[in-house]
């Protein structure tokens, strides 16, 4: 299956999911959340899939929510109750998930990494929850 905002590669039981919005540091928007849910469903149903690697295209893992997209009144949005379903799906997929963190990993991107069973970070990786400075707590961390 083809996905608009990520790449799925399968080799010898290893499924590599690459978040593929490098121009936005792989920031999370509606399409990415939809693609993540669908790809995780595909992997979960694949009897040959034994493990998952999650990484980001370009120089970043995931910058968190796409703020530019959030500011667009015409952008497609998930209902509040469904916005964080992909975090739960990632945590409960039933296969070991490794986050290969190759650069900035902030906000929702950090939450995404924390949902994985293992995290491996490159020397270029950095982590942050900028929302805390604004008095905002990440929903999935509650």
Residues belonging to the active site: 111, 131
Query: H helices of 17-115, where?
Result: 30-45, 67-71, 85-91, 108-114
Q: Which helix (H) or strand (E) holds 111?
A: helix 108-114
Q: Is 22 exposed, middle or buried (0-12, 13-18, 19+ CB in 10 A)?
A: middle
């Amino acid at each position: 299956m083809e996905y608009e905002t990520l790449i799925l590669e399968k080799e010898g039981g290893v499924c590599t999911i690459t978040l593929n919005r490098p121009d936005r540091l792989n920031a999370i928007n509606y399409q990415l959340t939809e693609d993540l849910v669908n790809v995780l469903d595909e992997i979960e149903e694949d009897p040959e899939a034994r493990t998952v690697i999650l990484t980001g295209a370009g120089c970043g893992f995931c910058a968190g929510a796409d703020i530019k997209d959030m500011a667009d009144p015409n952008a497609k949005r998930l209902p509040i109750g469904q916005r964080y379903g992909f975090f739960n799906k990632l945590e409960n997929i039933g296969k070991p998930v490794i986050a290969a963190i190759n650069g900035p990993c902030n906000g929702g991107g950090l939450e995404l990494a924390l949902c994985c069973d293992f995290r491996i970070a490159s020397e270029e990786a950095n982590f942050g929850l900028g929302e805390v400075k604004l008095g905002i707590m990440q929903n999935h961390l509650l």
